[in-house]
Copies of this chain bind each other. A is one copy, B any other.
């Protein structure tokens, strides 16, 4: 009896990464790690699986879909195997790197502060799959924990700038705001006592980069649908006018701050927020971060509820539809989810790796499909032992070399296969070469041929192959 064939499908919302993408992605990741280490960020990794209350903080309002974990045996769900603690407090796949970091910090209170870390890996969200939206995606995060000064926030902005410059990204704009300034606005609007309502107003402001002001203004006037609807914005014409004035402030950074201050100077927290932004302004100018690579944008609110101070978003000016590719902010209260009476301020940023890759990938002409630089053809299998020896000597001097193990027997067939995969060089060692103690290397793109003495080949091969592979994104590690 033949077993039924299983469909080779990934679950909906998940995907494979192919070599032509991985080669480039590894290169980006390498640069991210490199710049992070230059800034003194240290690598850590947390598990993909966390306890659900760690992730949600018992917040019934959190609009996120998580994967709950139960245990199966031999393909059959076996609920008896579920740990008792898992029944009370299910396990779930992490949805970001920030909450697990706060958990990590709380579990290791003795770590010397400030603690600076970077992390890379998959996060998971149970979203309805749609074009370009996945349930598993990668994020690269940097965070500074235990530094309350706004200097740390300025360093985060400076990091974003250095990373994007190192990645040769042009035309990006870092948009900076401060939750305290928005809270100041809420103060002046007189809505601070109802945080649900404040949240809804900020959520609408966050949509201003996509929707015209008129639509948002209408929604800001929205009255409660019924008696139980406490969080409707329900703002008056005067309140909405104030918001319009506030979110439409234009000008250079100092002028933006001056105008904002004049609108919210009755709020203590708002003034504190303006002061922090003014310090960031001063740092960024001293650091000579180009004035056209960042600006204050008072409509940036950031979705996640845990931000408490400066917040950042980064857009690509020539690809605004990709949204923010590098975002973050200060979250001074998140560690307090886990510990009493200890205040551990923190700030950081996260690059949406897939979105960012998609954005820069869309301008790419030709992608490298393999890291292989040279393929050894095999025409006479009795010479395989010797071919294997030559290959080993090439590999040891750093040439990415593949021996052709497939079914094509002819030289032409093997060359077609190498060309199809984008391998730029092939090598030939047949009976003639054996007799002459030589090996032949062909440049497939230029149709050039090199005949080398066998004993010298491993010395000469580098100068033939490397110049052609110098600027190849696939060469991650030089």
Contacts and interface: CB of A to CB of B under 8 A. Distances in A.
Given A17-B44, A45-B16, A136-B47, A287 B388 contact: yes
Given A18-B44, A152-B405, A155-B403, A71 B75 contact: no
B405 A34 contact: no
A323 interface: no
A95 to B, nearest CB: 11
Contact of A104 (B16, B117, B339): B16
Interface stretch (A7-15, A175-183, A235-243, A427-435): A7-15
A338 B5 contact: yes
Contacts of A392: 158, 287
A49 to B, nearest CB: 6
A75 B61 CA distance: 9
A375 interface: yes
- Stoichiometry, as copies per complex, reads 2
A11 B91 contact: yes
Nearest to A376: B40
A338 B8 CA distance: 6
A146 interface: yes
Contacts of A124: 48-49
A136 B58 contact: no
A404 to B, nearest CB: 8
Interface in A394-411: 395, 398-407
A171 B370 CA distance: 34
Nearest to A51: B11
Interface string A65-83: 1111111111111000101
Contacts of A114: 404-406
A420 interface: yes
A414 to B, nearest CB: 11
Contact of A371 (B42, B57, B162): B42
Nearest to A373: B40
A452 interface: no
A422 to B, nearest CB: 10
Contacts of A38: 395, 398-401
B42 A372 contact: yes
Nearest to A113: B406
B90 A72 contact: yes
B477 A30 contact: yes
A420 to B, nearest CB: 6
B81 A71 contact: no
A146 B404 CA distance: 11
Interface stretch (A19-27, A191-199, A439-447): A19-27
A30 B403 CA distance: 23
A353 to B, nearest CB: 12
B44 A6 contact: no
A8 to B, nearest CB: 4
Contacts of A436: none
A286 B4 CA distance: 44
- Chain A to chain B: the 9 pairs with minimum beta-carbon distance, closest first: A40-B402, A147-B405, A8-B106, A19-B42, A56-B75, A22-B43, A14-B47, A286-B385, A40-B372
Given A66-B73, A154-B388, A162-B395, 13 more contacts: A8-B54, A8-B103, A37-B371, A37-B476, A38-B400, A47-B136, A49-B67, A68-B70, A70-B70, A72-B90, A112-B420, A286-B386, A287-B392
27 contacts: A5-B337, A6-B337, A8-B104, A8-B107, A11-B47, A11-B69, A12-B83, A17-B44, A22-B43, A22-B45, A33-B477, A38-B400, A39-B400, A42-B369, A43-B371, A49-B124, A49-B135, A63-B73, A67-B69, A112-B417, A114-B404, A146-B405, A154-B388, A282-B385, A283-B385, A286-B386, A286-B389
